[in-house]
Amino acid sequence: MKPDLLHLLALTFIPGLGTATQRKIIKIARPDELWSFSQKELHQIFRKKPEHVDAFSSDKYLEIAEKEIEYCQANGIDILSYLSNDYPEKLRDAIDAPLILFRKGNYDFERKLHIGVVGTRKMTAYGKEFIEQFVEDLSEQNMAFVSGLAFGCDVTAHRMAVKCRIPNVAVLATGLNRVSPASHAPVAEKIIENGALISEYASFHKPESMNFVLRNRIIAGLCDAVIIVESAERGGALFTAAYANSYNREVFALPGRVGDKFSLGCNQLIQTNQAYMIRNSNDLLDYFNLRNRPKPKQTTLFVELEDDEQKIYDHLKAKGRQQIDKLALDLKIPIYQLNTTLLNLELKGVVKPLTGKFFELE
């Protein structure tokens, strides 16, 4: 058993400690150190919330965490730590990402464009037709779909992705010991074959209505872009759009007639510049400069590269398409310097710029 995982998991089980507080704590001390701190040291950490000190005076939450790890091991569930390499990189960048994710399905989040497809549970024929055609049209692209396995738009996106054999991820608002709604359990089993079920909740966690709102931040955080298919004026999918915008993800919305109840939310997003209008899959492909592109083929590099140019080339070769801010962070190259180097690489025919400040190898 990994001690760091045990203690980090136990930390997330302590009532009243939100994600923001948990992140502050692990910046001050390693999770495994907390249970060995003195009362004085703990009071210094929890000056504003001294009631949390008692949680580290016993092994109660460590024992709960140990049982959860044993349950997950017995049921094919992976526990992904925020501190580990297998945690989804895009989600890690979100300020309120959970410290722990539970995953069922051997799915790797790297090197794909992840597209969220969400919308009302009371989907209309208009929304259904759009989703089915949209997903089918993108079946040849290097993409994966993400949604919430709810009734209506969500499960339609999942079913279509399964039908087209496209990797897809379902983010649940319950522990992975159950599927809600239960009628979607067969779809969930199919998703695992070529994707994953994801949750931030342990098996003993009781379903709460607020969980269904909070899981929308994980959908948004996992994605490069989110499509809002249909939504009422106050629909739950609008939370996903808000989270996506706050994480600097791209948001698209399907327009509808001004009087249609389940187009009001989408039309509002477009009107207030919170989302781009999307009519079909070509709009998404055009945005990401993917339309009519041939499948990648092996190329040989015949040009001489400077040290920073080589670092960028090697990184893009290993990671695939990357945004300039992420490149600067990963490679520790200042943006102003990176812009110049990327331009040189573009002139040498090594990289090409894409919409949204993305770059990839030619």
Question: 165 and 314, same structural domain?
Answer: no
Distances (CA, A) of 213 to 153, 227, 235, 238, 250: 16, 17, 11, 10, 19
- Single out the residue in 74, 90, 124 at which a domain terminates: 74
- Single out the residue in 287, 316, 340 at which a domain terminates: 287
Question: 225 and 145, same structural domain?
Answer: yes
CA angle 216, 218, 222 (to 5 degrees): 125
Residue 157: inside a domain = yes
Question: 280 and 179, same structural domain?
Answer: yes
- Residue range(s) defining the domain that contains residue 213: 113-287
Helix ranges, the chain (H): 3-13, 19-28, 31-34, 39-45, 60-74, 89-92, 125-137, 153-163, 185-193, 209-222, 237-246, 264-271, 281-287, 307-319, 324-331, 335-347
Q: Look-up: residue for tokens 């998404």?
A: 284
pLDDT in tens, the chain (362 residues): 455 899 999 999 998 888 888 888 888 888 888 888 888 888 888 876 777 888 888 889 999 999 999 999 999 999 999 888 889 988 988 889 999 999 999 898 876 899 999 999 999 999 999 999 999 999 989 899 999 999 999 999 999 999 999 999 999 999 999 998 999 999 999 999 989 999 999 999 887 888 889 999 999 999 999 999 999 999 889 999 999 999 999 999 999 999 999 999 999 999 999 999 999 999 999 998 886 544 444 344 456 888 888 999 999 988 888 888 888 889 989 887 888 888 888 878 888 888 667 888 88
CA 140 to chain centre: 22
Question: 161 and 213, same structural domain?
Answer: yes
Question: 274 and 324, same structural domain?
Answer: no
Question: 323 and 255, same structural domain?
Answer: no
Residue 97: inside a domain = no
Task: For residue 246, give the 3-state DSSP assignment.
Answer: helix
Question: 282 and 311, same structural domain?
Answer: no
Question: 139 and 69, same structural domain?
Answer: no
Question: 314 and 281, same structural domain?
Answer: no
pTM summary value = 0.79
